[in-house]
Amino acid sequence: MTIRDAIRKRFSVRRFTGRPVSDEAIQEILESAVLAPSSVNIQPWRFVVVRDPERKRRLRKAAYDQAHVEEAPVVIACCADTRACDRLAELVEAWVRELGDPASRISDLVPGLRTDPVLRRCVAVRNTYIAIEHMALTATALGLGSCWMEGFHPERVKEILGLPDGIEVAALMPVGYTDQEAPPKDRLPVSRVCFSEVYGNPWSPGSP
């Protein structure tokens, strides 16, 4: 399957068969995740693979009783380590020193990267999202279904998984063999959302 095929075939699966997913398939999905790019290679993603029925039952409750969390043979909790922002702050500081301009506006990022919990979470989670999409496409290429989920109570999920301070839950991803047909993709056309040179100037092949 080509990457284009995987992109076209992927959809959010909410019904799974009881067929188990092999460790080899999960390993391949995880390996694709860690190959994702990240800001100055901070690699903030962390993953918890959940198979235990009781833990999945608890995750289902924390995810507002969405049944597919419990019914999928595997749930991968996709987490972001906000402590990776310390490394990013160090690199920003190095850039400021190299530029020889301590008053540079880029230096304004450093305090926030070190102490602002909202900024630290935003940076870490945003980078982790790239790895999650790698996982979804790899699952599709392996003949598996997945569902990228953000509908859950973060603190309850953190408790269930024993996550330490600084580790935030970016998404839950149930993975398994699908028990449903792919619905039609309802997407806006390229001509509606893409522009040439400036916003509002329609893009099309051969646009100036």
* 50 within domain boundaries: yes
Dihedral angle, C-alpha 26, 31, 35, 38, nearest 10 °? 60
* 29 within domain boundaries: yes
3-class DSSP state of 91: helix
Q: Residue 127: which of 34, 35, 33, 43 has the closest Cα? A: 43
* 190 within domain boundaries: no
191 against 52, higher pLDDT? 52
- CATH number of the domain at 95, please: 3.40.109.10
What is the pLDDT at residue 58?
98
Average pLDDT, the chain: 91
In the chain, % helix, strand, coil (3-state, to 5) comes to: 50, 15, 35
Task: Tell me the per-residue pLDDT of 11-20, one tens digit each, with 9 for 90 and over.
Answer: 999 999 989 9
| 196 within 8 A of 207, measured Cβ to Cβ | yes
**Averaged pLDDT for residues 29-49:** 96
* 205 within domain boundaries: no
Q: Is the pLDDT of residue 35 over 90?
A: yes
**Averaged pLDDT for residues 13-34:** 96
Beta strand 145-146 with 167-176 is antiparallel
What is the pLDDT at residue 102?
57
Least confident span in 20-34, 43-57, 96-110: 96-110
What is the pLDDT at residue 62?
98
Q: Is the pLDDT of residue 164 over 90?
A: yes
CA distance 168 to 26: 21
CA distance 3 to 20: 25
% of residues, the chain, pLDDT over 90: 69
Task: Tell me the per-residue pLDDT of 77-122, one tens digit each, with 9 for 90 and over.
Answer: 999 999 988 887 777 777 666 666 655 566 666 777 777 888 888 8
* 201 within domain boundaries: no
Neighbours of 138 (CB within 10 A): 22
What is the pLDDT at residue 128?
98
What is the pLDDT at residue 185?
87
Domain span including residue 75: 3-183
| 73 within 8 A of 16, measured Cβ to Cβ | yes
* 60 within domain boundaries: yes
* 208 within domain boundaries: no
Distances 43 to 33, 102, 104, 128 between C-alpha atoms, Å? 10, 27, 26, 8
What is the pLDDT at residue 87?
82
Q: What's the structural domain count of the chain?
A: 1
**pLDDT level of residue 156 (50, 70, 90 thresholds):** very high
* 168 within domain boundaries: yes
189 against 92, higher pLDDT? 189
CA distance 95 to 192: 39
